[in-house]
Amino acid sequence: MPLRPRPFVAAALAVLIGFAAPALEAKTLRWGAAREIASLDPYSFGETFTLSVLNHVYEGLVRYTGDLKIEPALAERWENPTPTTWRFHLRRGVTFHNGDAFTADDVVASLARVSHPSSPLRGNLPAYRSATKVDDFTVDIEVAEPYPLLLNDLTNIFILGQKWMAANNALLPTDSGTGVEGYATTHANGTGPFKVDSRRPDAQTVFSRNERWWDKPAHNIDRIEFTPITSAATRVAALLSGEIDFTNVAPLQDLPRLSAAPGVKVLQTNELRTVFFAFNMRDALVESDVRNANPFRDPRVRNALYRAVDANAVQRRVMRGLSRTTGSLVAPAIPGYVPALDERPSFDAEAARKLLAEAGYPNGFSFLMNCTNDSLVNEEELCQAVASMWSRIGLRPVLNIGPRSQQTPKRVKGEFDVIPFGWANEPQIDAYSLLLQVMRTRNAAGGVFNWGSWGDARIDTLIDRAGTELDPAKRIPLMTEALTLAKQDTLFIPVHQQPMAWATRQAVRSIVQASDNKPRLWLTVLD
Amino acid sequence: MLVFIVKRVLNAAGVMLAVAALAFATFRFVGDPVEMMLNEQASLSQRQELRERLGLDRSLPAQYAAFVVNAAQGDFGISYRNQQDVFPLIVERFPATFELVIVATVLSLLIGLPLGVYTAIHRRSAFAQLLQWVSVLGVSLPSFAVGILFILVFSVSLGWLPAFGRGQVVQLGWWSTGFLTKSGLTALILPGITLSQCQITLVMRLVRAEMLEVMRTDFVRFARARGLPERAVRFRHALRNCLMPVITVTGLQVGNLIAFALVTETVFQWPGMGLLFVQAVSFVDIPVMAAYLMVVSAVFVAVNMLVDLTYGLVDPRLRQDAVTGGGHGK
C-alpha cells in the first residue's frame, strides 16, 4: 500500500505539539533573596525591598524604566490644570488579576487607603491632599502646594482594586496600634505582570505570568519561585549547587568565587546609595577632651578630616576595589548631580595637620564615632580604616560599633560626634530627597535625618525654592547650587557610592540591573 | 497527682511572668521599631504619632502590664513587620521547628545510645578512644559552621541534598508536615544532623559514664553470678538502669533544641519559629519577640513537667504502687 500523507493526523500532531510545547518548557526563575518580604500588602511596611518585589504584582500610575526614567503605567498621560492639581488620564482596558476592570474608583480608593492616618506609607505622599474622580478614566489629585515630585512619589504607590478591597473589608490599611489585620496582607490582586499563586512565609512565594497584562511583555518568564535565604553562605551555596537561578544580594566577599564557578555570572555595579561622614554640629561634642566648644564647627577642622581620608586606600582595601570613590553627596544618576561635584581635594595628611594647627588643635582632640555593623556595606571596616587615618593626623576617634537597631536611636538623639551616613534618595530618585530629609534645618516638613544640627540658611532657602518649582530646568540647578554650597563648606565628607552585586546562572539570558538595586523581572529574559 | 500538676502550673505561670518582665526590660535596648516601620520620607510628627499609636511612648511598667493583661486573654498583638496576628504567625511555624527537633532527638538517641554503650563496654579499644575524641570535636564545633560545611559537601560538591528549605510539605489541618514527601524527608537530613550534633555527643557521653558506673555495681555482679548471658546483663540490667538520666536530659534538651534551633534554622532557611524570631530581632518586631519568648518558655515548662511525669513510668520506686511492681529483669 502506497504511503499517503495523512493530513488529519499531521494537523492533530501539530496542534498537540503547539499546545504541549510551551507547557513542557514552562520557564521558571528561582530567585533567592536575602530576606523575606514583610507582607503582600504594599501599604503595610515602608520597606524598599518589599515594595520592589510587590511591584511585580501591583503597579502604580507611573513607573521607572530600566534606566530610572519615569514612564506611564496605569496612567497614560497627565497634565496640570492648576499648579496644585494633577489630572491623570487612566489607561483603558486594564484588568485586575481577578478580572475586575481598572477604573478611577480604584485609584481614589487606593489613595484614600495609603494616606489614611494608620498607613505607614503615608509619608511617601508628603504633599498629597485629596483625590477626586472626574470620570471613569480621569482622576484629579490635589497637592498642598506646587510640588514637582508627585510623579516620583507615585511610582511607589501601588493601585489596589476598589471592589476587591470592599468585598474583603480591606478598604482601610492594617494597624498594629489597634490590632487591625487585613485581607490584603495574605492575598493579592493587582494589575501587574505577575500574579501570586501561593505563599508560604519564610519558605516560598510563587508568582505566575499574568496572561492578560496590558503591557507587551519584554520578559518570557512563566513562573517565579521567590525564596528568602537569610544566611549569605547558604545563598551562595544554593546558587553554586543550582538550587536558585538568581540572587539580588551576592555577598561581596564571595564574588571572586562566584565568578570563577562554571555557569554563574556576577553582575556588579554601584548603587545610588552614597556614603559620607557627617558631624555633630551642636554647641559641644558628646564625648571629647575639648569641653565647651565644638571643633567641627570650624570649616578648617572639617577640611582637615576630609584631606586626611585616603579614599583610594578605602576603595582598594575596605571595598575590595568595588566602590566608586566620589566627592559628591549624590550618585551620578540622581538629578542634581553635576561632574564638578565629584572632585575631591587631594589626600594630604601634612596639609591636614597644618589645618588642624591653624584651627587651634595642633595636638588633635578626641571624639565619638558611632558606626553600625549591619547597615552600610563593610561599614565596620570602613569606620576602622578611616579612624586610623584620622589618628595619623593626631586625632583620637573613639569607635562605638553596634547593630543598626541599637545605634539608630542614639543617632536620632544626637549622641555622636561623627557618623558614616548612607543615602540613596529612594524612592524619589532625586537630590531633593537628600536635601529635604537630611540636609535641611529641621522644620515641620523636613530635616528628619538632620541628626547633628548641621545646615545652613542659604541652603535651606535653595531647598525650599526647589520644593515648589515645577519646571525641571530651573529646579535642578537650584539643587545643584545647594549641593555645591555644602561641598564648599565641607558640611560632609563624601566617600563613595556603594557596590552592589547580583548573580545569575545560565538559565538567565538577560536581566536589567538598575542602580536602585531593584530587580525588575518583567524585563528579564530566560534561555 | 492533681496537687502536683496544679503546683506545677502555678509555678509555670510565675516563670512566664518573670520571662516576660525580663524580655520587656531588654526590649528597650533592641532599638526603635518606628524607625524600621516608616521609610525615609515620613515626617517627625508622623513618626511621633505612630510611636503613640503603638503605645511605645508609655513607661516600661505600663507597657509590660498591658502586655500581660492582653496575653492573659490570648491576645499577643499584631506583628509590626508582618501586620498579622502574632500567635497564628508563630503557630504556623511551630510544626517546622518541632519536626526538626523530633528528628534531631531521635537521631541523637539512635546514634548516641549504641555509641555510648559501645564506648563503655570496649572502653580500651582504639575505636572507642577515637569516638571519645571525635565527640569532643562534636561539642566544640559551632553548629552554624557544621551546617555550612554540610551544605558545601552534600549540596554544592556532591549535589545529593538540598541546601535550604523544607521541600514539599503536606498540610494536615493546621499542621504542615515534611514527613510525607520525598523532598520533605531529604530536606530534613542536613538540618536534622546539624541540630543533633551536640545532642549525639551528649547522649553518648552520658550513657558511657552511666554504664561504667552501673557495670561496677553489685546487682550486675550478682546477675553475672546467676549465670545470665552477658548480653542480658548489659542491655536488660545495666542499660535499663542508665536510662533515667538519659530520659531526663533528652527531655530537657527538647526545650533547649527548640530554643536553639534558631541557629540551624537560619543556616538552612528552615521556616520555623527560630527564623521568625531572628528576623523579628533585626526589625525590632516587639510583639513577635515577646510572644516567641512566651511560647519557648511555655515549652520549657511543659517539657519539664512531662519529664517529671515520665520518671514515674520508668522508675518503679517513684510509683506509689511500686510495691507490687517487682524487681529487675521481670
pLDDT, residue B1, reads: 65
- Cell output for A204: 516560598
Contacting residues of B for A433, CB less than 8 Å apart: 40-41
What does the radius of gyration of chain B's CA atoms come to, in whole angstroms? 24
Confidence at A117, pLDDT banded by 50, 70, 90: confident
Contacting residues of A for B273, CB less than 8 Å apart: none
Question: Would you say the pTM of this structure is higher than 0.80?
Answer: yes
Per-position b or e across A304-318, b if 16+ CB within 10 A of its CB? bbbbbbbbeebbeeb
pLDDT in tens, A515-527: 899 999 999 999 8
Contacts within 8 Å (CB) and 24+ apart, B116-119: B116/B203, B116/B204, B116/B205, B116/B206, B116/B207, B116/B208, B116/B211, B117/B207, B117/B208, B117/B211, B117/B234, B117/B235, B117/B239, B119/B204, B119/B208
Neighbours of A42 (CB within 10 A): 27
pLDDT, residue A240, reads: 93
Q: φ, ψ for residue A78 (rounded to 5)? A: -155, 160
A16 pLDDT more than 50 = no
- Cell output for A168: 474583603
Among residues A503, A25, A64, which one has the least CA distance to residue A220? A25
pLDDT in tens, A338-353: 999 999 999 999 999 9
DSSP codes joined into one string, A424-439:
--TTTTSHHHHIIIII
Residue A383 gets which letter from DSSP? H
A64: left (phi over 0), alpha (psi -120 to 50) or beta: beta
Q: Is the CB of residue B288 less than 8 Å from the CB of residue B77?
A: no
B30, B152, B164: residue with CB nearest A229: B164
- Nearby residues of A209 by Cβ (< 8 Å), 6 or more positions away: A193, A194, A217, A221, A222, A223
CB contact under 8 A, A426 and B40: yes
Q: Is the CB of residue A295 less than 8 Å from the CB of residue A285?
A: yes
Lowest-confidence range among A67-76, B102-111, B217-226?
B217-226
Q: Is the CB of residue A434 less than 8 Å from the CB of residue A454?
A: no
How many residues in chain B?
330
A118, A412, A448: residue with CB nearest B43: A448
Residue with more model confidence, B232 or A402? A402
CB contact under 8 A, B39 and A234: no
Q: Work out the average pLDDT over B249-262.
A: 85
CB contact under 8 A, B38 and A186: no
CB contact under 8 A, A237 and B37: no
Among residues A36, A144, A97, which one has the least CA distance to residue B278? A36
A423 to chain B, minimum CA–CA distance in Å?
Answer: 9
- Nearby residues of A285 by Cβ (< 8 Å), 6 or more positions away: A294, A295, A296, A365, A367, A368, A417
pLDDT, residue B51, reads: 84
Contacting residues of A for B47, CB less than 8 Å apart: 448
What whole-number distance in Å separates Cα of residue A339 and Cα of residue A216?
37
Place of cell 549624590: A330
pLDDT-above-70 percentage for chain B? 94
Confidence at A13, pLDDT banded by 50, 70, 90: very low
What whole-number distance in Å separates Cα of residue A329 and Cα of residue A359?
25
A36, A48, A230: residue with CB nearest B39: A48
State the alpha helices, DSSP H only, in A150-250: 150-154, 162-167, 232-240
Interface test with chain B among A47, A124, A176, by most B beta carbons within 10 Å: A176
pLDDT, residue B15, reads: 86
What whole-number distance in Å separates Cα of residue B308 and Cα of residue B310?
6
pLDDT, residue A478, reads: 96
Interface test with chain B among A155, A180, A405, by most B beta carbons within 10 Å: A405
CA B123 to chain centre: 31
What whole-number distance in Å separates Cα of residue B94 and Cα of residue B101?
11
Confidence at A56, pLDDT banded by 50, 70, 90: very high
- Nearby residues of B66 by Cβ (< 8 Å), 6 or more positions away: B55, B58
Q: Is the CB of residue B140 less than 8 Å from the CB of residue B152?
A: no
A388 pLDDT more than 80 = yes
Q: Work out the average pLDDT over B15-24.
A: 87
pLDDT in tens, A194-224: 999 999 888 899 999 999 999 999 999 999 9
Contacting residues of A for B28, CB less than 8 Å apart: none
Among residues A475, A444, A442, which one has the least CA distance to residue A460? A442
- Cell output for A189: 490582586
End-to-end CA distance of chain A: 45
Q: Is the CB of residue A445 less than 8 Å from the CB of residue A400?
A: no
Lowest-confidence range among A307-316, A412-421, B63-72, B314-323?
B314-323
CB contacts < 8 A, A to B, total 180
What whole-number distance in Å separates Cα of residue B248 and Cα of residue B252?
6
Give the orientation angle of helix B2-30 with respect to helix B286-314, to 10 degrees: 150
Contacting residues of B for A41, CB less than 8 Å apart: 83
What whole-number distance in Å separates Cα of residue B192 and Cα of residue B106?
9
A181, A185, A238: residue with CB nearest B163: A238
- Residue A394's H or E segment, with its range, is none
- Nearby residues of A222 by Cβ (< 8 Å), 6 or more positions away: A22, A26, A27, A28, A208, A209
- Cell output for A46: 515602608
B78, B89, B282: residue with CB nearest A179: B78
Cis geometry, peptide bond prior to residue A427 (ω within 30 degrees of 0): yes
Among residues A154, A144, A171, A159, which one has the least CA distance to residue A104? A159
State the alpha helices, DSSP H only, in A359-456: 379-391, 404-412, 431-434
B325 pLDDT more than 50 = no
B326 pLDDT more than 50 = no
Contacting residues of B for A174, CB less than 8 Å apart: 78, 83
pLDDT, residue B328, reads: 45
pLDDT, residue A521, reads: 94
What whole-number distance in Å separates Cα of residue A523 and Cα of residue A220?
9
B81, B92, B284: residue with CB nearest A38: B81
Q: Work out the average pLDDT over B174-201.
A: 89
A83 to chain B, minimum CA–CA distance in Å?
Answer: 22
Q: Is the CB of residue A166 less than 8 Å from the CB of residue A110?
A: no
What whole-number distance in Å separates Cα of residue A177 and Cα of residue B312?
48
Q: Work out the average pLDDT over B4-13.
A: 79
B45, B156, B279: residue with CB nearest A36: B279
CB contact under 8 A, B152 and A200: no
Interface test with chain A among B28, B30, B40, B277, by most A beta carbons within 10 Å: B40
A440 pLDDT more than 70 = yes
A510 to chain B, minimum CA–CA distance in Å?
Answer: 25
Q: Work out the average pLDDT over A51-72.
A: 94
pLDDT-above-90 percentage for chain A? 77
- For chain A, what is the mean pLDDT? 90
A437 pLDDT more than 50 = yes
CA B79 to chain centre: 24
pLDDT-above-70 percentage for chain A? 95
Lowest-confidence range among A118-127, A317-326, B305-314?
B305-314
Confidence at B313, pLDDT banded by 50, 70, 90: low
A17 pLDDT more than 60 = no
pLDDT-above-90 percentage for chain B? 17
A47 pLDDT more than 90 = no
Residue with more model confidence, A466 or B39? A466
- Cell output for A97: 488579576
pLDDT, residue A7, reads: 47
What whole-number distance in Å separates Cα of residue A333 and Cα of residue A176?
37
pLDDT, residue B322, reads: 41
Lowest-confidence range among A1-5, A377-381, B8-12?
A1-5
Query: Which residue is closest to B280 within chain A, CA to CA?
Result: A38
Residue with more model confidence, B312 or B150? B150
Residue A123 gets which letter from DSSP? G
pLDDT, residue B317, reads: 65
Query: Which residue is closest to B272 within chain A, CA to CA?
Result: A202
- For chain B, what is the mean pLDDT? 84
pLDDT, residue B320, reads: 56
CB contact under 8 A, A202 and B85: no
The strand pairing partners of B111, in sequence order, are: none
pLDDT, residue A357, reads: 95
A19 pLDDT more than 50 = no
The strand pairing partners of A199, in sequence order, are: A205
- Position A493: which residue type? I
pLDDT, residue A2, reads: 45
Q: Is the CB of residue A199 less than 8 Å from the CB of residue A205?
A: yes
Three-class SS of chain B: CHHHHHHHHHHHHHHHHHHHHHHHHHHHHHCCHHHHHCCCCCCHHHHHHHHHHCCCCCCHHHHHHHHHHHHHCCCCCECCCCCCEHHHHHHHHHHHHHHHHHHHHHHHHHHHHHHHHHHHHCCCCHHHHHHHHHHHHHHHCCHHHHHHHHHHHHHHHCCCCCCCCCCCCEEECCEEECCCCHHHHHHHHHHHHHHHHHHHHHHHHHHHHHHHHHHCCHHHHHHHHCCCCHHHHHHHHHHHHHHHHHHHHHHHHHHHHHHHHHHHHHHCCCCCHHHHHHHHHHCCCHHHHHHHHHHHHHHHHHHHHHHHHHHHHHCHHHCHHHHHCCCCCC
B201 to chain A, minimum CA–CA distance in Å?
Answer: 25
Neighbours of B186 (CB within 10 A): 14
